[in-house]
Amino acid sequence: MTIAVGDKLPDVKLIKAGAEGNEPVQTGEYFAGKKVALFSVPGAFTPTCSAKHLPGYVDKAAELKAKGVDEIVCTAVNDAFVMKNWGAASGSADVTMLADGNGDFVKALDLTMDGTGFGMGLRGKRFSMIVNDGTVEELNVEGPGEFKVSAAEYMLEQL
């Protein structure tokens, strides 16, 4: 069943590429006790993700934090090395990049998409959510090929 407003995030392992190497992150612990603007993209360095989605959160980071967001997190079904380099290329340390390399997180959320027709395999849908102490307060899932409700500007209106 797809995650819904009011649900707790599933407790799965994501990977954060740190200065000392890859660091496992358990979502149950990581999202506890803070308000997080979480967004997911189908893939790092892909056109819409790189031109609009990530840059929107980079540009609006200060505004999101001014409205009570403690952390901004981006996930994608990519490895930690790709996510680290994509984050560095974005020019912002304000967005935490968490790799969902095996797609375990999006599978547990039931927010997967089949990108095999594009040579991308199983990926996560484009979505955003506001997570408060591990509980989903807002959930915005895009339709195929759309980019509206998961944008940083839309999330600002929800806060």
Tokens of 154: 């839309």
Q: Output the pTM of the full model.
A: 0.94
pLDDT at 51 over 80: no
pLDDT at 154 over 80: yes
Task: Give 93-142 pLDDT, tens digit per residue.
Answer: 899 999 999 999 999 999 998 888 887 778 899 999 999 999 999 999 99
* pLDDT at site 61: 96
Query: 109 with 76: CB under 8 angstroms?
Result: no
| All domains in the chain, ordered by first residue | 13-158 (3.40.30.10)
Residues with Cβ within 8 Å of residue 93, at least 6 apart in sequence: none
What are the CA-CA distances from residue 108 to residues 11, 62, 64, 105 (Å)? Answer: 9, 30, 26, 5
Tokens of 36: 């997080």
Query: 14 with 100: CB under 8 angstroms?
Result: yes
Residues labelled as active-site residues: 49
